[in-house]
Amino acid sequence: MKSRTFCIQSMCSLQWCEPFEFSFRNPACVPVIQCSFGAHLLPFGFQRMDPTGVKVLETAEDIQERRQQVLDRYHRFKELSTLRRQKLEDSYRFQFFQRDADELEKWIQEKLQIASDENYKDPTNLQGKLQKHQAFEAEVQANSGAIVKLDETGNLMITEGHFSSETIRTRMQELHRQWELLLEKMREKGIKLQQAQKLVQYLRECEDVMDWINDKVAGFGPKRMGF
């Protein structure tokens, strides 16, 4: 829920920036703020009214200085807007990375509980348990692409110098640790289920042999056995 809220906030901030960026990309929206802004006035003096109502004659140098102030302020505004958008985009991507990482971690933890279940100690219906575990293994392998995709996203952000690169790297390392633990637990459970099934089969075969021997011994009778 927290990651979702951050994503929505970042998206709204990006939408807030769009009208400004549209203005920068569309010269029709800012016809007076161009490189030539005010240049046509430079050869002339220009009269304006001061706050007291007295006409003041501005020189070409005054006009040039005022013109440069406006252009500098405008260019700085464009730079700040571009920088703000880049930071918002980075934050937006990071929140989506966090959301995907949270979902993957939750899924791994759920599967770890299943892989850690010691139901192989109960000898009943081992064949069914083994089949269910094989389906579980297939499910885990089918979802291995999730961590690969998250790796690609995280590594790209790190390569691009994202401001949360260390957090991203640490999160990826922890997810890999949990993923490897899941694979290990899953493999161990599969082996133990197979061992338990083989043990049950062996004990059943022993019972069958003992029943066969007892049956044959009973058929001999006391006289045939020398009693």
| Overall residue count recorded for the chain in this entry | 227
pLDDT digits (tens, 9 = 90+) for 161-177: 999 999 999 999 999 99
3-state secondary structure of 46: strand
Please tell me the number of Cα atoms within 13 Å of 57 on its side-chain side: 3
List the domain range (segments joined by +) for residue 13.
2-117+129-210
Our count of domains for the chain comes to: 1
What are 97-133's pLDDT values in tens digits?
999 999 999 999 999 999 999 999 998 899 999 999 9
| Residue 202's CATH number | 1.20.58.60
Q: Is residue 219 part of a domain?
A: no
Classify residue 215: in a domain, yes or no: no
74 in a structural domain? yes
pTM: 0.65
Q: What is the DSSP letter of 55?
A: E
- Coil/strand/helix, residue 117: coil
Is 216 inside a domain boundary? no
15 pLDDT more than 90: no
Asked if the structure places residue 218 within a domain, the reply is no
Residue 26's pLDDT band, with cuts at 50, 70 and 90, is low
**Assigned domain for 79 exists:** yes
